[in-house]
Amino acid sequence: MLNGRDRQLRQITWDAYSQLSLPDKAPYLNNGRRPYHVLLAQQFDRQTLDELGMLATSIRRIAKSKAGMQFLQDLLCHKRAMLYFTQPSSRTFLSFYAACQIIGLSPAEVRDSATSSEMKGEAPEDTLRTFSSYFDLLVMRTPKPGFAERIAWLLSNTERPVPIINAGSGKDQHPTQALLDIYTLQRSFEHLGGIENKNVVFVGDLGRGRTVRSLSCLLTLYPGVKQYFVAPSELQIGQDVLDQLDAADVDYEVSYDFENVIPETDAIYMTRLQDEWDKGENDATKSDNSQYFLKPEHLDKMKNTAVIMHPLPRRDEIDSRIDVDPRAVYWRQVRNGMWIRVALMASIFGKVADEIFNFYELNM
């Protein structure tokens, strides 16, 4: 798995790497255009997103038959993956677990660092280095921002580097959620001219929602997309995200009026209050935010072609009566996540992605 790009991560000090801007980190993480470590939304370009979407669709179709599934499960049957999830997760964890099974990777799991030698005072870096010795891929979810990057750098500077996938880090990044959101948008707008020129509104806890931060970045790769950020002022999107949009010359609007934005939008991306980050001092998040909830009476105001998305889990921000509306795609989003994660793992083990495309061309 050692490759040209990864050798560059080997050659840079941690201090120098951590001072780079997010876009400048990208070449250290990718292997040519394909991802090697998957840590940041900023490491993807448009062509890679298109290729991942095509790969996910090929995999989805191949997996429908027993012969197809057998082909897929043979691809990485000689590799093992560790799912290191020390922050609550069942959806993303199981999505990766199922994705591993589809492509033949044997998954193992650590769900609680309290069961490891970290309890004996071992540095988490040492724990991860030990674990990595047994595996060929690490998938990590941690509450610590930047920890997955740190481990990627650390392992790249050992004799046995393995790729790392960030399955959610702190409040900052959730790149694989952004990939599944993009795949869902690609599929939803397939016959409507693609994602280009669509209006996307993010609603809810935008200040602490890592899915919003990552998806907002990927959407900058689609010309003509306008982004709206609708939230109470305490939960509004961070200035760093807006700076990123300014730098990419992307049209956006920060708004406090959900009802007015609804008729304009092609995709409504709802999020829940992320109050697990509260330490009691942020009373604003305890106030009534129901004006930022999507309710059945809003449906008539929405475009017929619009989609309603949510990374899940949801609380009250989408009324469950909306689930039957054909524009509600959040359950489809979940399943898309499994397929795009298979595609991502195939892409990391590059030759495997080519084998899938070849199989698809010959057999489908």
Looking at 92, 199, 220, 244, which residue binds ligand NCD (CB under 6 A)?
Answer: 92
Which residues are paired to 83 by β-bridges? 109, 139
Give me the half-sphere count of Cα atoms (radius 13 Å) on the Cβ side of residue 177: 29
Q: Is 298 a catalytic residue?
A: no
Strand partners for 267 = 200, 307
The two three-digit tokens of residue 302, written as one number: 């929405």
The answer to whether residue 272 forms part of the interface with ligand NCD (CB under 6 A) is yes
Quick check: is 211 catalytic? no
Is 312 a binder of ligand NCD (CB under 6 A)? yes
State which of residues 68, 104, 163, 168 lies at the interface with ligand NCD (CB under 6 A).
Answer: 168
Whole-angstrom distance, CA of residue 352 vs CA of residue 256: 46
Task: Say which of 64, 66, 120, 279 is annotated catalytic.
Answer: 120
> 272 with 315: CB under 8 angstroms?
yes
Q: Which of 5, 34, 79, 174 is catalytic?
A: 174
Shortest distance in whole angstroms from residue 223 CB to ligand NCD:
28
How many residues make contact with ligand NCD (CB under 6 A)? 10
Nearest to residue 227, comparing CAs of 209, 245, 239?
A: 245
Active site includes 174? Answer: yes
Of residues 161 and 168, the one with the C-beta less far from ligand NCD: 168
Which of 215, 222, 229 lies closest to 174 in space, CA to CA? 215
Task: Please pick, among 92, 127, 220, 271, the residue that the annotation labels catalytic.
Answer: 92
> Which of the residues 96 through 115 are near ligand NCD (CB under 6 A)?
none
Q: Residues 190 to 219: which contact ligand NCD by CB under 6 A? A: 210-211
Written as six digits, the tokens of 82 are 């560790």
177 scored as a contact of ligand NCD (CB under 6 A): yes
Between the CA of residue 184 and those of 192, 267, 332, 362, what are the distances in Å?
Answer: 13, 11, 8, 26
Which residues make up the interface to ligand NCD (CB under 6 A)? 91-92, 168, 174, 177, 210-211, 272, 311-312
Residues with a known catalytic role: 91-92, 120, 141, 174
